Structure 1
Amino acid sequence: MSLSFRVRARRGDFSLDVAFAGDVRSLVVVGPSGAGKTTLLQGLAGLGPVDEVHLAMDGQVLIDSATGAVPPAHRRGVGYLFQEGRLFPHLNVEANVSFARPYATDPMDVAEALGLVDLDGFETRWPATLSGGEMRRVAFARAIAARPRILLLDEPFAGLDVRRRDALIPYLIRLRDEVGTPMVIVTHDPRDVSALSQAVLRIEDGRAAARPEPA
């Protein structure tokens, strides 16, 4: 699986210009806080203004601002897991997980997605009744329920205890290796790098600090 992207963006005095190309299904992006890691993911997902964005997989261009091929966020086939979870407070768990399914060609059943994160039977619960870890797992289920073409994960295991984290990692590996879903993972946790990465991209001050490294 070949993956390539470039994002250029500006936020006040901060500028981002990061590109990557390689034969990987899982790229882990690391770097200090404020380096631009989340800005990179948001640019690829269409969740923030950019000066330039390009994303291609196996030679198929999904997004290319140079040619005007910039579909809206909900049409990009990109799954996104925010750091904070960001559930819709006015929707129950089932409705939250179902949110992106109408835009998917082969969506996952809500029950299947919740089962993968050990939340069977939570469909009628409301976000206000969930613990922090439960909210995080619902957000994860929402990100995978649409079977995205690429999955962007921003600190994917924040707020989860070790048992829940260890339970989710094998599924991400199966998603990567068996289903073939590529993923870009932002993390500060060396365990995530060890478990999930096929290559590591370090960002500092909005720029790639060095050539991508094999994991």
Structure 2
Amino acid sequence: MSLSVDIHHRFDGFDLDVQFQTEGGLTALFGRSGAGKTTVINALAGVFRPDRGRIEMNGRTLFDSPTRTNVPVHKRGLGYVFQDARLFPHLSVAQNLKYGARFRKSRVSGDQVVEMLGIAHLLDRRPTDLSGGEKQRVAIGRALMSGPEMLLMDEPLAALDQARKDDILPYLERLRDEADLPILYVSHSITEIGRLATSVVALEHGRVVRAGAAEDILSDPDAVATFGVQDAGAMLRGRVVAHHDDGLTELAVGGGQLWLPRIMAPVDSTVRVRVEARDVMLSLQQPNDISALNVLPATVVSLRDGDGPGAMVQLQVGPDRILARITGRSAKTLNIRAGQTLFAVLKSVAVAKQDIGRG
């Protein structure tokens, strides 16, 4: 499944000029408020017409200004999930799902959708009797039942509190892994991107500033300004080795072992862990007699000085790359340089539960 977007539009005081391509999986369209994310997704859906450009999905032209092609919304084969669920209040959950199935045959059955999203116990309820997270799961189910070629999700968790976000993220991971359906996911949350994205397209002021595989973009020191220094962090992939009696889970990562507070994943399953740069310390010698359990051999890939007193170090840890945020003074004291071997130190409790997801 391929998507190619090349659109241009002039607003009062704002020019949108966006080009990107993606090949299936879950593509996160990232940007701060006003970057143009929703405009892009609305152009793809057909509810907004750009001044000029071209949108092509799986070899089919949805919009092309030179030829005046503009496929109607209902013929584009797209499912759209909004920030608010927008369910029909007078219909039950089951009836809302059936409404989605009116348009075209879904590639997944109703039973599969219900099981995947964990909504079997909700089928007889009305939307007024659902929590925010439950409403969003039903809205996703209704979109899936319409048989889309691609699913568009415009900040579907933005209106939920953290507890409800934590509840729904595992269902979104299942959707990404099991539905065999490309997803364009709009978000300004690094946590959601770290958990869900296979690729990232980052927007600033109406233009694409970064695009590529999620693990490459999130571990790129040059992309830190785009995502924000405080949120900078990269992904490690690991395999669950064991759950120990003291409440810790042991992971095998490319660079060694990682110990985390108990995670809800079966032994031998793969997980992805977002490690925040501010939580990584560096040592020239393998440290002993310290409380931090995670000490990983690493090689310095690059060093980037920040505008203030900080510096960002990109590290190769086995097959993965992570970031460490340290002070410029520490970088000089340790003589940090490309090719240097050292040790990355991470406290087990530094990794938040919401930063651990299915691999």
**TM-score interval (norm. to shorter):** 0.7 to 0.9
With over 3 angstroms needed to count, the CA separation of the structure-2 counterparts of 1:7 and 1:88, relative to structure 1, is farther
Alpha-carbon shift at residue 139 of structure 1 (Å): 0.8
2:95 and 2:53 map into 1 onto residues whose CA distance is 31
How many equivalent pairs are there? 209
Which stretches in structure 1 are left out of the alignment for 5+ residues?
none
1:203 and 1:91 map into 2 onto residues whose CA distance is 38
Between structures 1 and 2, the one with greater strand share: 2
Instruction: Read off the aligned partner of 2:171 and give its amino acid letter.
Output: A
Partner in structure 2 of residue 169 of structure 1: 173
Alpha-carbon shift at residue 62 of structure 1 (Å): 3.6
Partner in structure 1 of residue 184 of structure 2: 184
1:173 and 1:89 map into 2 onto residues whose CA distance is 30
Which stretches in structure 2 are left out of the alignment for 5+ residues?
215-359
Q: Does 1:36 align with 2:36?
A: yes
Alpha-carbon shift at residue 138 of structure 1 (Å): 0.8
Structure 1 runs (4+) greater than 4 angstroms displaced: 10-13
Partner in structure 1 of residue 19 of structure 2: 19
Please, what is the CA RMSD of the aligned residues?
Answer: 2.4
With over 3 angstroms needed to count, the CA separation of the structure-2 counterparts of 1:68 and 1:90, relative to structure 1, is farther
- What aligned pairs does 1:1-215 form with structure 2 within 5 A after superposition? 1-10=1-10, 12-52=12-52, 54-58=54-58, 60-66=59-65, 67-106=67-106, 108-158=108-158, 159=160, 160-175=164-179, 179=180, 181-208=181-208, 210-215=209-214
- Percent identity over the alignment? 33
2:41 and 2:35 map into 1 onto residues whose CA distance is 12
Partner in structure 1 of residue 278 of structure 2: none
Please tell me whether the aligned partners of residues 8 and 52 of structure 2 are also in contact (alpha carbons under 8 angstroms).
Answer: yes
Alpha-carbon shift at residue 173 of structure 1 (Å): 2.1
Q: Deviations over 1:6-48 (max 9, x none)?
A: 2334555444221112445332111111211111111111123
With over 3 angstroms needed to count, the CA separation of the structure-2 counterparts of 1:167 and 1:199, relative to structure 1, is closer
SS at structure 1 position matched to 2:69? coil
Which structure has the bigger radius of gyration? 2
My pick for the range that moved more, 133-142 or 152-161, is: 152-161
Q: TM-score of the superposition, structure 2-length normalised? A: 0.53
Select the structure with the greater relative contact order (CA < 8 A; seq sep ≥ 6): 1
2:10 and 2:125 map into 1 onto residues whose CA distance is 39
